[in-house]
Structure 1
Amino acid sequence: MKLYADTPVRRSRQVFGDLWVVAWSAFSVWLATKVYDVTMALAVPGRKIEGAATTMGQRFRDAGTSADHVPVVGDKLAKPFSGAGGAADALADAGRSQAEAVHTFAWWLAIAVAIVPIVMVLTMYIPLRLRFVRRASTHVRLRDTEAGIDLLALRAITGQPLKVLSAISDDPAGDWRIGNAAVIRSLAAVELRDCGLKPSAVIAPRTPGPAPG
């Protein structure tokens, strides 16, 4: 598997791109944690209400229990305290629900802040990198054999601009058909360079011999 190009400029650009994606992903995760912390600060009032109301409710119930022991009028004295304790418990439940809602919202907001930017970048960058890896890996296998060089030359004929082909030969397709080794090697070299690869020793320049036929 060929991950990076042979040519320095293109290889540097690919390495920089990979590092940028990693840095962007790390920044997105860091930003998500900060957003989570800031959002969770909204849950503090709810937690305080829950704690204060719970303490208040417990004290009202304790007071009601003490009042209940008063002879004759104990039940009447304890009833208001019991009602106040129930109201305090309801207030505590409301504070707890608010804090839990903020926690859920903070969690999903942090996920969105982290995932959305990362997915947007990866959906644009990963296909380009995979396309290069597939093409470069195939070209690396082809450049080390004579048959592979012929295929690379044919690929150049079908895919390279006419301006590039005409600089190599007036009739690149004809030279390929008759097996002109010099032209075939030049075409293969162009195709490899277009992919950011260097020609192998098999495509090293040779003194061209007479064309067959």
Structure 2
Amino acid sequence: MIGGAASAEVGMPGGPRRGTLSGVKIYADRFPTALRQLLTDLLVVAWVYAAIRGALWLHDLVQKLAVPGQKMEGAGGGLADNLADAGGKVGRVPLVGDELTAPFERAAEAARSLAEAGRDQQELVDQLALALAVGMLIVPLSLVLFGWLPLRVRWMRRAGSAAALAAAPAGRDLLALRALAGQPLGKLTRIAPDVAEAWRRGDDATVDALAALELRRLGLRDPRR
């Protein structure tokens, strides 16, 4: 009977059922479950947005540390240009021009070194800002990618499969088997005192009750009710 259920699932005609996308169901049929899923999805979106905004804020905050380097680069570059220009003018003095130019050239070189130090400081701040921003995103995005997302996708696949199985008579037997394997014992015994034996006998009422129990666990409605 279980093999027939699998065959029925594979060979089921028609496209995806309502609320499904390529065999994957997005939200539950029952309002409380669907509302909880929707609110959770919105919270996750808000969580990711807040994490990205926080990372950008931290990046911009750290970037302010580059302001001294920018000023140092501007001052050093401007001073080097002025000294080089002054040295060029002094160099045109007859006889002693070359001797007078040397101090200006050394001072201009020192100013260029100052400007280079400013650029190095800015690059260091840029790298630090990027590293801190990425580090701030690792934890919240990891919780989403490795915590919430796998659970969400697993439910979507299970719900889509269960919705497809519920439409096939043989598929309901497989849903009943899932209920036997995963539902609490208290819920199973409320269906029948020896629910496993009733399922093995193929009791229609027991199979339908177990299938409905499994669908209800996933937040889906029984298409037969």
| 1:163 equivalent among 144, 164, 186 | 186
Q: CA deviation at 1:30?
A: 0.9
Q: Does residue 212 of structure 2 align to residue 184 of structure 1?
A: no
1:13 alignment partner in structure 2: 36
2:156 alignment partner in structure 1: 133
Q: CA deviation at 1:100?
A: 1.5
| 2:165 equivalent among 142, 157, 179 | 142
**Cα distance in 2, alignment partners of residues 93 and 75 from structure 1:** 27
Deviation per residue, 1:79-134 (Å, 9 max, x gap): 11111111111111111111111112212222222343212233110111122112
1:1-213 counterparts in 2 under 5 A?
Answer: 1-201=24-224, 204=225
113-122 or 67-76, which deviates more: 113-122
For the pair shown, the structure with the greater C-alpha radius of gyration is: 1
User: What letter corresponds to residue 34 of structure 2 in structure 1?
Assistant: R
The count of corresponding residues between Structure 1 and Structure 2 is 202
**Cα distance in 1, alignment partners of residues 181 and 111 from structure 2:** 81
**Cα distance in 1, alignment partners of residues 130 and 177 from structure 2:** 55
Deviation per residue, 1:34-57 (Å, 9 max, x gap): 111111111111111111111111
Question: What RMSD over aligned residues (CA atoms) do the two structures have, in Å?
Answer: 1.4
What percentage of residue pairs aligned between the two structures are identical? 45
| Alignment TM-score, normalising by the size of structure 2 | 0.85
User: What letter corresponds to residue 169 of structure 1 in structure 2?
Assistant: A
The SS at the match of 2:133 is helix
Structure 2, unpaired ranges of 5+: 1-23
The SS at the match of 1:123 is helix
Structure 1, unpaired ranges of 5+: 205-213
**Cα distance in 2, alignment partners of residues 6 and 170 from structure 1:** 30
**Cα distance in 2, alignment partners of residues 22 and 59 from structure 1:** 54
Q: Which structure carries more relative contact order (alpha carbon 8 Å, separation 6+)?
A: 2
Segments ≥4 residues shifted beyond 6 Å: none
Q: CA deviation at 1:3?
A: 1.4
**Cα distance in 1, alignment partners of residues 129 and 56 from structure 2:** 10
